[in-house]
Amino acid sequence: MATGELRGGYTTGACAAAGVKAALTLLTRGEVVDSVDITALDGTRLTIPVANVEKISDGAHVEVVKFSGDDPDITNGASVFTTVRLTFGDEIVFRAGEGVGHVTKPGLQLPVGEPAINPKPRQLIRNVANEFDVRGLDVEISIPAGVELAKRTLNPVLGVEGGLSIIGTTGVLRPMSEEAFKNSLVPQIDVAKAAGFDELIFVPGKIGETCALKLGFDAGAIVQTSNFVGFMLNAAADRNIAKVILCGHLGKLVKVAAGIFHTHNRVADGRLETLAAYCAAEGLPSTEVQKILDATTTEVAAQIIADNHLERVYKKIAARASLRATRHVFGKLSVKTILVDFAGNVLGRD
């Protein structure tokens, strides 16, 4: 492997499929295996180690340990248990065991009430069953660590309760790209829309979320955007959302006022320059403008603004952020903006 090359791994869906293959190998052939080969949905061949296979009274129980390669996946090293029972039917019944959630809100790929075992992993498992010419199966998937791990995901927001989702589009886990992370945020919009919200509250992080809740906005309408404000605005426009309210820390949303829609500081960081320009336009003396330019954070700059009784500038910055955001989506939806500080206090709104 070349220096610097990132290692790939396999998804929780692939782990479950590997568990089904190991179980069927035992149940139909009497063989206990310590690894299996499966074909991912993109044609990639995966060899997946099997930690344990055991016969139970009415089937087989298999443990596969998730391997994420160099992807920062929270399930890396977690045990995925698959319990497989042969049935007399002609379909596969999927069940959520400990640490695997159920769908509680519409808008996802599965109906409300279904185990959160996504369609692609289900297809992967069906493909494995076809290898053994087996039609009737009862498949229960468990990730005991999933109850706690799910708290570190968007599952509670999306309406997956009780644990993790069994996910993966192909079965192959490649180190997460920015594009993949962005796409993982979009289902929040679908869930909110399915719940009947056509006015959404976009928050870049926890500060904006806390403020939005304090202001009385419905938690079901709040959507996390991370740094990808422009991408999420486009996704909302594509889904015919009528209105978006941007609610977040001054340091993030002042960038939107400057036409910056990817707000990570390594991509674009004109926070202080933008604040300085707006304050100068409001008559702030050049010596004070320089203090803003020299400030280490927007919180320090905000104190300079307060010292000069120039808080009115925030309303203009909010209005500009709304204008820029509306232009970004070519007027397909209405955008308003609320700027807050670290404590969640509203600084300005348009």
* DSSP code per residue over 183-198: HHHTHHHHHHHHTT-S
- How many residues belong to the chain? 350
117 secondary structure, DSSP code = B
Q: pLDDT, tens digit, for every residue of 163-201?
A: 999 987 777 776 656 777 788 899 999 999 999 999 999
Long-range contacts, 323-328 (Cβ 8 Å, 24+) = 324/256, 324/257, 324/258, 324/259, 325/229, 325/233, 325/244, 325/246, 325/256, 325/261, 328/230, 328/233, 328/234, 328/261
Task: Report which of 228, 320, 336 is spatially closest to residue 275, judged by C-alpha positions.
Answer: 320
The residue-averaged pLDDT of 122-134 equals 95
- The C-alpha atoms of residue 78 and residue 66 are separated, in whole angstroms, by 5
The residue-averaged pLDDT of 136-141 equals 97
pLDDT for position 175: 61
User: DSSP strand E in the chain: where?
Assistant: 9-10, 35-39, 45-49, 52-56, 59-65, 79-86, 92-96, 102-103, 137-142, 160-161, 172-173, 199-203, 222-224, 243-249, 334-340, 346-349
pLDDT for position 109: 83
- The C-alpha atoms of residue 101 and residue 253 are separated, in whole angstroms, by 34
Contacts of 141 (CB under 8 A, 6+ apart): 16, 19, 80, 81, 82, 94, 95, 96, 97, 100, 115, 117, 166
The residue-averaged pLDDT of 207-226 equals 94
Lowest-confidence pick of 67-76, 211-220, 331-340: 67-76
Tokens of 266: 């390594």
Q: Say yes or no to pLDDT of 276 above 90.
A: yes
Contacts of 300 (CB under 8 A, 6+ apart): none
- The C-alpha atoms of residue 243 and residue 109 are separated, in whole angstroms, by 24
Confidence of residue 211 (pLDDT cuts 50, 70, 90): very high
Contact (Cβ atoms closer than 8 angstroms) between residue 105 and residue 157: no
Can you list the alpha helix ranges (DSSP code H) found in 67-222? Answer: 119-131, 146-149, 155-158, 178-185, 187-194, 206-214
pLDDT for position 1: 38
For the chain, list the domains and their CATH numbers: 9-173 (3.30.2110.10), 178-349 (no CATH)
Residue 219 DSSP SS3? helix
Distances (CA, A) of 102 to 17, 95, 105, 315, 347: 19, 9, 9, 43, 40
Mean pLDDT, the chain, as a whole number?
92
- The C-alpha atoms of residue 261 and residue 281 are separated, in whole angstroms, by 23
The residue-averaged pLDDT of 240-245 equals 97
The residue-averaged pLDDT of 221-247 equals 96
Task: Report which of 53, 57, 75 is spatially closest to residue 66, judged by C-alpha positions.
Answer: 75
**Which amino acid belongs to residue 140?**
E
Distances (CA, A) of 150 to 35, 111, 156, 157, 158: 28, 20, 8, 11, 11
Lowest-confidence pick of 177-186, 233-242, 279-288: 177-186
The residue-averaged pLDDT of 321-346 equals 95
The residue-averaged pLDDT of 319-341 equals 97
Q: Say yes or no to pLDDT of 114 above 90.
A: yes
Q: Say yes or no to pLDDT of 70 above 80.
A: no
Contact (Cβ atoms closer than 8 angstroms) between residue 279 and residue 311: no
Q: Say yes or no to pLDDT of 3 above 50.
A: no
- The C-alpha atoms of residue 236 and residue 192 are separated, in whole angstroms, by 11
Q: Say yes or no to pLDDT of 144 above 90.
A: yes
- How many CB atoms lie under 10 A from the CB of residue 101? 25
The residue-averaged pLDDT of 255-278 equals 91
Residue 256 DSSP SS3? helix
Confidence of residue 2 (pLDDT cuts 50, 70, 90): very low
Q: Say yes or no to pLDDT of 4 above 70.
A: no
The residue-averaged pLDDT of 4-14 equals 79
- The C-alpha atoms of residue 346 and residue 301 are separated, in whole angstroms, by 16
Contacts of 97 (CB under 8 A, 6+ apart): 81, 83, 140, 141, 142
